Amino acid sequence: MNSAVDHAVPAGQRIGVLGGGQLGRMLGLAGIPLGFRFVFLDPAADACASAAGQLLRADFSDTSAARKLAGLVDVATFDFENVPETTARALEETCPLYPASNALGASQDRLAEKDLLCQLGIAVPAYYPVSSRTDLLEGLDRLGYPAVLKTRRLGYDGKGQAVLRDQEDLERAWQKLGDCDLILEEFVAFEAECSLIAVRAQQGETRYWPLTQNVHSNGILALSLPGVFNEALQAEAENQMRKLLDHFDYCGVLTMEFFLWKGYLLVNEIAPRVHNSGHWTIDGAACSQFENHVRAIAGLPLGDSSMTGYSLMFNWIGEMPDQKKLMAVPGLHWHDYGKTARPGRKIGHATLTAASRSQLEDNARRIAEIEGGEFSALLEILNKGDHGFHD
């Protein structure tokens, strides 16, 4: 369905989304003002995107539900990459899906993803496929300790992975993960983590947001700070992104996550969708990743991806903040996902916007004072490198 289509979807028409989480919700919130209506397919009765449209309750493996969704909408997309490729293909038979199922498939298997990146000449950490204990020992021989053992499929937010520092870690990790197909990666002692988010229209027009520094806590994104890397690094990241966008003849938003190591960019993973590290674009960029994704898949002209000032995003994971205290901080934009709080669950984020870096820094400290220890520690990580708050 996707080949050489110029598929302009008129306002008032419907957009289908495989997945009804907070990313789907924010796509809906961005697309509604443009005149679109949304239908989300998700198994959860309380899928939080349902606040922004109709919910079609079905399992992600239910291909007949995907075909039903195709009949209800004019164009479709997805809000997470673990939708089975067969479901995406079933939908694609009768409805344009952007990005197409080829990009979805490539991002679902860490080994296939890394093989593809290598083929395209994009640098990744050294890796070794593991489907037996012998493979693991061979891999460790080659890569040495420390190393990171990950499941090839269905891992996210640091789930399905373990850092191996010695033989004891190896035994523990093998007990936990040994049943799955795995990949062993060298442990990268990175200077910083960052991501590039791009959007490509049906006819190839492409926009890039500024590289964003990301800080993770227990494998989950905790803080994003855009606009702190120099032009050379931005150009290098865009160059790598372009190879991937062209390879897939991609339409929509694509994210690349990098380790910055000795001044080089190594790709950790790609996500064929809007991304948590781009949430700041709602309040801090002329056109957000969500609006531009909707524009791209609907065949509309893309919006300006430049920053409108300084901004920084904090995630709230597992526990809601004291909203009243938080919202007293100048320049703070609170985004509540309408989800029940649970340990390890992303339930909201806040973007701080400011006219100067020092103002941004002052207000970020105010948030850290309200929220306490861990938030201060996150800011400390930014301050350590050359790529943090200091120009």
Return residues touching ligand AMP (CB under 6 A).
125, 148, 155, 158, 185, 187-188, 193, 216, 219, 268-269
Provide the phi-psi class of 303: left if phi over 0, else alpha when psi is between -120 and 50, else beta: beta
Nearer to ligand AMP, 56 or 143 (CB): 143
Query: Shortest CA distance to 133 belongs to which of 190, 192, 184, 207?
Result: 184
Query: Shortest CA distance to 383 belongs to which of 264, 194, 215?
Result: 215
Q: How far apart are CA 293 and CA 273, in angstroms?
A: 8
Nearer to ligand AMP, 135 or 362 (CB): 135
Least Å from the CB of residue 315 to ligand AMP: 13
Least Å from the CB of residue 194 to ligand AMP: 10
Least Å from the CB of residue 359 to ligand AMP: 29
Q: How far apart are CA 377 and CA 75, in angstroms?
A: 43
Q: Which element (helix H / strand E) includes 269? A: strand 264-271
| Cβ count within 10 A of residue 360 | 21
Residue 206 β-bridge partners: 200
Handedness of CA 169, 171, 174, 176 (dihedral sign): negative
Pairing type for strands 75-78 and 127-130 reads unpaired
* Distance from chain centroid for Cα 271: 5
Least Å from the CB of residue 60 to ligand AMP: 20
Nearer to ligand AMP, 255 or 351 (CB): 255
Least Å from the CB of residue 188 to ligand AMP: 4
Q: Alpha-carbon Rg of the chain, whole angstroms? A: 21
Query: Shortest CA distance to 213 belongs to which of 378, 23, 14, 25?
Result: 378
| Six-digit token string for 166 | 């010695």
How many Cα atoms sit within 13 Å of 289 on the Cβ side?
Answer: 23
Nearer to ligand AMP, 54 or 82 (CB): 82
Least Å from the CB of residue 146 to ligand AMP: 8
Least Å from the CB of residue 345 to ligand AMP: 16
Nearer to ligand AMP, 58 or 147 (CB): 147
Nearer to ligand AMP, 269 or 283 (CB): 269
Least Å from the CB of residue 165 to ligand AMP: 12
Nearer to ligand AMP, 125 or 210 (CB): 125
Least Å from the CB of residue 216 to ligand AMP: 4
Q: How far apart are CA 270 and CA 81, in angstroms?
A: 10
Q: Which element (helix H / strand E) includes 222? A: strand 220-226
Nearer to ligand AMP, 206 or 315 (CB): 315
Nearer to ligand AMP, 143 or 347 (CB): 143
Residues 6 or more apart in contact with residue 219 via CB below 8 angstroms: 157, 158, 159, 161
| Six-digit token string for 346 | 């992303």
